[in-house]
């Protein structure tokens, strides 16, 4: 019994980590902000701004899980309709991301205070509450169906780990290259982000048949 619960928690942690890492690819505005901090100020402030983004992503994922719990208690979450709706949401978001053209030219607004850097990262993510739907859709696609708060802790921690790993790798890459993100690179990130959402969407659809 204990071993089965541990395996379940580890599986939820793994799914949350994958979600946190790959879903962060859509944080294009956050990437631009963090890159500006690293190039314009220093690595420490850039990573601090990234932590602000991570904090909000964890918040959004927790809210998404609470929504999922409510659906589980009020309806049959395994009904094919939920997966179809989730896949449709992800597909629409993929199109929106692919067509996106984010810019960040406010070089003079970058603060040298860690708290303000953290707040800048948090605020740039807080203005996009639609991410809650994205998290809920992904959780539905990969079957993160938690029924209690205790079960929901593992995927949320996973999202925090995955998101932090993404931002650490991204920040180290920018710090090593000493170059700002070019428009061509941004275009590639838009394509990668759209591809990630489409893959999650397809996973949700394929699970109806396998």
Distance of CA 118 to the CA centre of its chain: 17
In order, the DSSP letters of 116-139 are HHHHHHHHHHHT-TTHHHHHHHHH
4 assigned to some structural domain: no
189 assigned to some structural domain: yes
123 assigned to some structural domain: yes
136 assigned to some structural domain: yes
Query: How many distinct structural domains can be found in the chain?
Result: 1
Distance from C-alpha of 101 to C-alpha of 48, rounded to nearest angstrom: 25
What is the enclosing helix (H) or strand (E) of 71? Answer: helix 43-74
For residue 126, what are its two tokens?
A: 């807080």
Q: How would you write the pLDDT of the chain (210 residues) with one tens digit per residue?
A: 545 667 888 999 999 999 999 899 888 889 989 999 999 889 999 999 999 999 999 999 999 998 888 776 666 655 566 667 777 778 888 887 777 665 555 544 677 889 999 999 999 999 777 889 889 888 888 878 777 888 889 999 999 999 999 999 999 999 998 888 777 777 787 788 888 888 888 877 776 666
pTM of the model as a whole: 0.85
1 assigned to some structural domain: no
Distance from C-alpha of 118 to C-alpha of 49, rounded to nearest angstrom: 4
Distance from C-alpha of 2 to C-alpha of 110, rounded to nearest angstrom: 49
Q: What would you report as the CA-atom Rg of the chain, rounded to the nearest whole angstrom?
A: 18
Distance from C-alpha of 6 to C-alpha of 60, rounded to nearest angstrom: 25
What is the enclosing helix (H) or strand (E) of 99? Answer: helix 80-99
3 assigned to some structural domain: no
2 assigned to some structural domain: no
Domain that holds residue 125: 12-206
């Amino acid at each position: 019994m204990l071993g089965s619960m541990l395996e379940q928690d580890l599986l939820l942690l793994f799914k949350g980590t994958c979600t946190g890492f790959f879903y962060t690819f859509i944080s294009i505005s956050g990437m631009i902000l963090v890159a500006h901090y690293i190039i314009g100020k220093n690595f420490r402030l850039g990573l601090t701004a990234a932590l602000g983004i991570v904090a909000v992503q964890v918040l959004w994922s927790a809210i998404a899980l609470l929504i999922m719990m409510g659906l589980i208690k009020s309806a049959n979450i395994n009904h094919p309709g939920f997966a179809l709706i989730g896949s449709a949401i992800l597909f629409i978001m993929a199109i929106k991301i692919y067509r996106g053209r984010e810019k960040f030219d406010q070089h003079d607004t970058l603060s040298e205070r860690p708290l303000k850097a953290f707040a800048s990262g948090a605020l740039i993510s807080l203005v996009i509450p639609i991410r809650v739907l994205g998290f809920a859709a992904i959780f539905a696609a990969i079957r993160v169906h938690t029924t209690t708060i205790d079960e929901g802790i593992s995927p949320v921690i996973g999202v925090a780990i995955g998101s932090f790993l993404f931002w650490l790798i991204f920040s180290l890459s920018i710090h090593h290259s000493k170059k700002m993100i070019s428009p061509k690179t941004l275009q590639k990130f838009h394509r990668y982000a759209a591809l990630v959402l489409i893959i999650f969407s397809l996973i949700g659809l394929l699970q109806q048949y396998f």
